[in-house]
Structure 1
Amino acid sequence: MSGESDEDFKDAFCDPENPIAIQFQEVSAAAYKIKGGIERTPCPKSHMSSFTGIEIFFKKEYLQHTGSFKERGARYTLMMLSAEQKKIGVVAASAGNHALALAFHGTSLKIPVYVVMPIIAPIMKVSMCRHYGAEVLVQGADINESRTIALSMAKKSGFMYINGYDHPHILAGQGTMGLEIVEQVPDVDAVVIPVGGGGLIAGTALAIKSLYPHVTVIGAESERCASFSTSIEAGHPVYTKASSTLADGLAVPLVGVNAFATAAPLIDKMVVVSEDYIALAILRLVELEKCVVEGAGATGLAAVLAGLLPELKGKKVVIPLCGGNIDTTVLGRCLERGLAADGRLLRFVVTVSDRPGGIAELTKLISSIGVSLKDIFHERAWLKSDIFSVQVKCVVETRDQEHAAEMERLLRSHYNHVQMGPHII
């Protein structure tokens, strides 16, 4: 923006030259102040404990009013404003959960909230922010451009800019989840926490390690944006290019400087999870826990399902389900991808006779073992091997991977040309 210096786009509370490592007393103070304004979410034992070999407890943060843990930090930060700042208001840049949390609690506390959301933000979340009472400006191609606009507004109008994953009061507020975990699950051995900008793991690790230093703290990231792992290797926050991911809430290219300073000394292990296992985690939560959780919120479980944490076998482990604000259309895609990753949704191509009854014989064959046909397409023009044959592409649903393997054996015993796998076009 013309006429504005670099100073206009700096966040005074998140200075890379002077990072702030928050203290346990701040988490305790946050817990006391926000006690009456947020949900004390349940942390029950999971049905998945029996087949994972891990005693899993899910901290159900998606049950907060706006659907995520972000309410903890948002409420505490708003409550800690000076009387004068409460009248003027705050501004933030967010495409989702942070914006919703600030909007809801700003209205509750009668504090003006202004939110800059990028043009790629889901329409549903934009509408909900307005419904909760925030003034919403949809501007900026991505979150970085929205942040620049928000910081400029703060400079011009006196609003306080609130970074959703790095403001010190945000970190303290998120840490209150850790206090609840150690109360709800006595003798917990480990926690597996999804990591994006680092705010949640910073506050939670501080709370838990201050009380029980022996508890193992593990961070889980998406393979499409492993910014915290990269930063730990470098010893300081490092920009990491983010790609499109099912865990869009974790796609933060540069972790918070305060979050890093607080969390890095406390984290015992970082793991990076593939997209297929994030989709599978979403599917497992819907099927077995009856929980609708967004990709970012399911990444901790994804790390377990991917077999990345064998050392947790036989241990008592808490996994936060951080958020449930997943778009309906995205949920459908995630469930289909999860079924594919689980070997229950398959594609295959087989060459069959083009004479009457050829395709009927194929469908009868797969139905004989209980495989459900979801889609079928046949191709003649580009098949060069035999003028009296037709190539058939099928999408089918099986019970499990063993059932899928049975179907493949059956097909190969009846047909010479069978191709299986996700890469079939």
Structure 2
Amino acid sequence: MSAVMGPWISRLLFIGPWIIILSNLVEKGECDTPEFIYPIDNITVAAGRDAHFTCVVNKLQGHKVAWLRSDSKAILAIHNHMVTNNHRMTVSHNGHNTWRLHISNVQRNDSGHYMCQINTEPMVSQIGMLEVVEAPDILYNETSNDTITMESANVNLICEARGYPEPTVIWKREDKENIVLRDGTGGVHRVSSVEGRELSLTKLTRGDSGAYLCIASNGVPSPVSKRIMLHVHFHPTVDVVNQIVSAAVGTQVILECVVQSSPRPINYWAKQMQKGEDVNILSGGRYKTTEEQINSYSMRIYLTIDVRKKDFGVYACKARNSLGEAQATVQLQESKIELSAPDPDFELETTTLLPVQRIKKRRKGKERRKNKVEEYDDWEEEEEEEGGDQSKPQIIFFKEPEIPATVYTTQTISSLDTYSSNTRNSCITGL
């Protein structure tokens, strides 16, 4: 009896009543060797989820299945009885040949090797590994917040992250622009991203302003990021698009300037008067001021004017922030539309058409004759009855020099009495 129980006692697998039960089973000769049907799978699971190991055994007979932590040799369960006090662990049996160890809400300290063991002589077992991974997480209390600094200064941005495996941290600009790295020798390097928990920016310019993203990833869904705004403050600057603008009275004109400033400035237009005073222009009526944001520190300022005579003069685009004030001027001058002189080559020609004789087609019986010209003998009588002036031109043509034209020779008829018989035989005289 002691020889049979020796291996169990040495491994501390079964205690109390279990020893007596197992000894009786062995003495009865139930010694068919149990066998594992499938190996235990290794499991990788994210922290907070559930996991389970499955152990499938045939020919178990009167033997028992136990679950242990392989690294610490701690007994977790024997058959359907839980030994550990960890309430997150349970065991189950399907009533045939399958035993499972369930672990709910797994934690990082649950990682390790787990053993399914059968109390044979010698004992047989198989091992599965549980790897608990953690999605990356940024430690906000240890990571930089929004930062304000001045031009030409240096700044270090810090991003601390945790997770398993250890997360990789990279820096990018939110606007997809390159990150500018300057070294002590004056060298400048432009890169799309920087790897590491610390981002060092030196000799800052206004172009370095903007949002920077600290991104942590370790292959476990999903990567996390923190947005850090870098504000580089500087004195405002103003530039005008056109220094001189011409417009006519009654038209609409737009004056434009570009302002760069951080912190955000107060922008306005003013008109310079003859006494040297500047009169601020308020938006309304014939004047309208608008702004268009270009980036975090640049904007366009517009002044729209419905032009009148008194509007011509000098206008100033002004910007002011806590660091100072700047302005630039635009000259609005009057433009006049001049009519061009008439073309000296332009000619006006008149053409008088003579009366046209009427052409008739006559048909006698079935015989078809050629066209016969019939003189319009009653023309003179009709003109006299209507009181027409026979000497007055009938049609006037205007011909421009750019278009080649045929010059017609015409004759003004003052009386039909001078109309010769040769002329009457023609349709139009002078062609």
TM over 0.5: no
So what's the TM-score if we normalise by structure 2? 0.18
So what's the TM-score if we normalise by structure 1? 0.19
Q: Which has the higher helix share?
A: 1
Q: Which has the higher strand share?
A: 2
